[in-house]
Amino acid sequence: MYSFREIARLQEALRQEKTAGRRIGFVPTMGALHEGHLSLIRTAKAATDTVVCSIFVNPTQFNDPKDFEKYPITIKEDILKLTGVDTDILFLPSVAEMYPEGVNGQHPHYDFGYLETVLEGAYRPDHFQGVGIIVEKLLRAVQPDDLFMGQKDYQQCMIIKRLLEITQIPSELHICPTLREMDGLAMSSRNMRLDPPARQIATHISRSLNYVKENINSLPFPEIKQNANKQLQEAGYQVDYVEIADANDLRLLREPIKGKMVALAAAKLGEVRLIDNILIDQP
């Protein structure tokens, strides 16, 4: 695996790959890698010829400075894991490399419309602007044919779809399934911050989403959401939201629709905020 810290060096290497007619796959991450990340790399390896993984903890997407400070960094282990799945190129830039204009400098403002006003957008002001800023910079650096992201961050995938439209960047977005621990907890870098008692309780977030799915046709939505919320609170979570939305546009729903819905939840265990979602397909 080749590693680059500078965009110019990365692009030099990628030019050779592209000249040789190789298809470039890209998996952007913030590191503290787990099997969920590695599953994206494996999917990218199967679909493309040269796979680039980036590790960059992006300061502009953290609305909570404490969350940024405590974000786990495990570069040595990450490199071993990436080598283990035959990643071709690791891009490991510094903050100065990605933000020559300064983190607080002038950045584009994207019109994500409604998407930015609900769920994570409502609870994490400016988070998706920060995501847009860094993903555009990374895409312009790597210029991948294919971009691989996780359904775990469902709303983020929709934002990136919109970003590709806004910027007219011709990469194809592939949304990959969420990998889970044995007890159902969605894998996440933030899980490392859970102490053993919190880790035991953490499973309730996926349980509550399964409860929503199981009752989607039998109970009114306000009651389902209230019950799921209560289950999480009783388990020890501080709940931001449990919602049911149209999977196409994240419009919040009051009753079932035909086609795909998505149940989404965000809740905190102590200082650790977890999110999860589950697709509900109605034939």
Going by the DSSP 8-state scheme, the letter that residue 178 receives in this structure is: P
Q: Of all residues in the chain, what percent are helix, strand and coil, respectively (each to 5)?
A: 45, 20, 35
Smallest gap from Cβ 141 to ligand AMP, in A, equals 16
Q: Which of 155, 178, 191, 277 binds ligand AMP (CB under 6 A)?
A: 178
**150 binds ligand AMP, rule: CB under 6 A:** yes
Smallest gap from Cβ 283 to ligand AMP, in A, equals 26
**186 binds ligand AMP, rule: CB under 6 A:** yes
Smallest gap from Cβ 220 to ligand AMP, in A, equals 31
74 contacts 33 by C-beta, under 8 angstroms:
yes
191 contacts 276 by C-beta, under 8 angstroms:
no
- Taking the least distance from each CB to ligand AMP, the nearer of 128 and 221 is 128
Smallest gap from Cβ 186 to ligand AMP, in A, equals 5
Distances (CA, A) of 239 to 48, 264, 273: 40, 12, 9
- Taking the least distance from each CB to ligand AMP, the nearer of 40 and 142 is 40
109 counts as catalytic = no
Q: Which residues pair with 268 in a beta bridge?
A: 238, 273
Cα R_g (the chain), whole angstroms: 19
Distances (CA, A) of 163 to 59, 187, 205: 19, 25, 29
Q: Which stretch binds ligand AMP (CB under 6 A): 18-26, 183-191, 234-242, 243-251?
A: 183-191
- Taking the least distance from each CB to ligand AMP, the nearer of 138 and 224 is 138
Closest CA to 67 of 114, 32, 118: 32
- Taking the least distance from each CB to ligand AMP, the nearer of 141 and 187 is 187
* Contact footprint for ligand AMP (CB under 6 A): 29-30, 36-37, 39-40, 149-150, 152-153, 176, 178-179, 186-189
Catalytic residues: 37
